[in-house]
Amino acid sequence: MVTGFLMIARSSAVPTRRRRPLPFDVLLAITVLFPTLVVSGCETAPLLAPTRSTVSLIASAQRAPLNSEVEILATVQEDSGNAVQDGTLVTFTTTLGTLAPRQATTVRGTARTILQTGTVSGTATVNAASGNARTSSGGTSGSTSSTTTTTTTPGTNVQILIGAAAASRISVVARPGSVSSSGGTAEVIAGVVDEAGNPVTGVAVSFSTDQGTLSTSIVTTDRNGEARTTLSTNRESIVTARVGAGGTDRTATVTVRVNTAPTLTIGTVSPANPTVGQSISFTVTPAANSTLDTNVDFGDGTSQNLGRINGQQTVTHTYTSVGTYTIRVTGRDANTGESVVASTAVNVGNRQPLSVTITATPGTAVPGQGQPWTFTANVTPATGGADQVESYTWNFGDASGATTSGNSTTHVYTSSNSGRRIVTVTVRTVDGRTATGQTEIIVTAT
């Protein structure tokens, strides 16, 4: 008799519909008389969903990084549309990652578990079951946002893209896009996004290059969905970035170029052997089709900025001290930033002492009028630069004189000044040096 009662009580522990609670006195009697059997019956007979119930799954995200968590909610409803009784057991399964817990009981018709994505990229298909109610294939990854809750139709599973499986597009850029003609480095940045343009974090991007070397070949994307490596090369290089899982690899490439070295030439210095104070000149010419920001260092502590040039330029300079000087011309390419230096040497010697002679063209001394004498001052070395004569001061030897800017002058002697006369000229250069020359003439009267 007791055994039959217990069997009826145990059978009622798995109802097909919501049952009416047992009277309190009956429950009390069972508990007092058969505590071990009652407890054992509760442990081995979990509450499951009634026949014709349905299970609907909701995921907190359709895409998830590696080593992250996604909340999964299972809503269980009876055929009538009402939520199943609290405590109904739901069992969860997944094809990727782990579930914690694998089994959970409902509260107000909903059971909750957490999908831990782990370290492997791919698609996690999550199912749930309670009694005869279970999800099946046909689930969806839901909305396009990586943070929006995703849902499925009743009875179907949910699919969550994990890690690289969520990558829809990859792009790659290099900064700078070119390196020096002698070689250099460029940062290569790959950006990974899902189909909605949201960054995909925590996935591995593989880098490779056909030239040069990479600082790192496998890099995990950061919170901005970016992975970075550094290329070192002295040749034009193509860098490939790859991301993906399960046959859904995405690739992108970027070309890092090598700049062409600029060139310029310095023409012959003229005169070849200048002296102190003598002006020199030379030309500076960049290569065809190039534009250079150009500066000239004369080697004597002075320089000249020629600005931006794209053709031949003439440069002049005057040295004030004896010595050998190196002229250095630096050009910087206005487009690539590449620099070039050309140089030449110039020997600057002492100035030759000034020497002055006078050439006289005779005239006559006639009372009241006379034929003019013509005097010409001959200065060596040839005047120019600092040797340029600023003035000629004449003394005609008859207590008269004149100052001229040219090297030639005339003078008329009177009959009272006939005879021997000493004509003198003093030249003064622009830098203040002087030299004197003289000649003796005989003035005759007619």
Q: Which of 160, 156, 152 is nearest to 71 (CA)?
A: 160
The whole-number average pLDDT for the span 34-41 is: 44
pLDDT in tens, 230-278: 999 999 999 999 997 655 688 999 999 999 899 999 999 999 989 888 8
The better pLDDT of the pair 220, 152 is held by 220
Of 150-164, 313-327, 346-360, least confident by mean pLDDT is 150-164
pLDDT at 308: 94
pLDDT at 246: 57
If one counts every other C-beta atom within 10 angstroms of the C-beta of residue 353, the result is 9
Other Cβ atoms closer than 10 A to 143: 14
Identify the DSSP state of 168. -
User: 């995921």: which residue's tokens?
Assistant: 59
Q: Which CATH number fits domain 169-258: 1.10.357.10, 3.40.50.10860, 2.40.128.20, 2.60.40.10?
A: 2.60.40.10
Give the per-residue pLDDT at 414.
Answer: 86
The structure tokens 């031949």 sit at 312
What was the pLDDT predicted at 282? Answer: 97
Q: Is the pTM here over 0.85, yes or no?
A: no
Q: What per-residue confidence (pLDDT) applies to 125? A: 94
Write the pLDDT tens digit of every residue in 176-231: 999 998 899 999 999 999 888 888 888 889 999 999 999 999 999 999 999 999 99
Q: Which residue has the higher pLDDT, 126 or 37?
A: 126
Provide mean pLDDT across the span 116-125.
89
| Tokens coding 196 | 């909605």
Helix H, strand E, coil C: the string for 75-121 is EEECCCCCECCCCCEEEEEECCCEEECCEEECECCEEEEEEECCCCC
Same fold, 54-166 and 264-348: yes
Highest mean predicted confidence (pLDDT) among 27-31, 57-61, 379-383: 57-61
Q: What are the boundaries of each domain within the chain?
A: 2-44, 54-166, 169-258, 264-348, 355-443
Is residue 410 within 8 Å of 371, Cβ to Cβ? no
Mean pLDDT to the nearest integer, 346-366: 87
Whether the pLDDT of residue 155 is over 80: the answer is no
Q: Where are the alpha helices (DSSP H) in 168-295?
A: none
Strand partners, 373: 411
Would you say 345 and 327 are in contact if contact means Cβ atoms under 8 Å apart?
yes
Q: How far apart are CA 71 and CA 160, in angstroms?
A: 11
Dihedral, CA of residue 377, residue 380, residue 381 and residue 386, to nearest 10: -50
Q: Which CATH class is domain 264-348?
A: mainly beta
298: confidence class by pLDDT, cuts 50, 70, 90: very high
Which two tokens mark 85? 């009784």
The reported pLDDT for the residue numbered 293 is 96
Does domain 355-443 bear CATH number 2.60.40.10?
yes
Nearest-CA neighbor of 95 among 159, 153, 147?
159
Top pLDDT among 151 and 154 is at 154
Residues 307/340, Cβ–Cβ less than 8 Å: no
The architecture that CATH gives domain 54-166 is Sandwich (2.60)
- Average pLDDT for 103-115: 95
Predicted pLDDT of residue 380: 85
Buried b (16+ CB within 10 A) or exposed e, 156-176: bbbbbbbbbbbbbebebebee
What is the amino acid identity at position 367? P
Report for 42-46, 79-83, 292-296: range of highest mean pLDDT:
292-296
The residues pairing with 324 across neighbouring beta strands, listed in sequence order, are 347
The separation between CA 269 and the C-alpha centre of its own chain, rounded to angstroms, equals 41
Chain-wide mean pLDDT for the chain?
A: 84
pLDDT > 70 fraction of the chain, expressed in percent and rounded: 83
Task: Give all strands of the β-sheet with 69-77 in edge-to-edge order.
Answer: 98-100, 110-116, 69-77, 54-59, 150-151
Q: Per-residue confidence at 143, pLDDT binned at 50, 70, 90?
A: very low
Whole-number pLDDT of residue 275: 87
pLDDT band for position 153 (cuts 50, 70, 90) = low
Of 315 and 431, more confident: 315
Q: Is 43's pLDDT higher than 80?
A: no
Looking at residue 439, its pLDDT comes to 94
Arithmetic mean of pLDDT, 310-339: 94
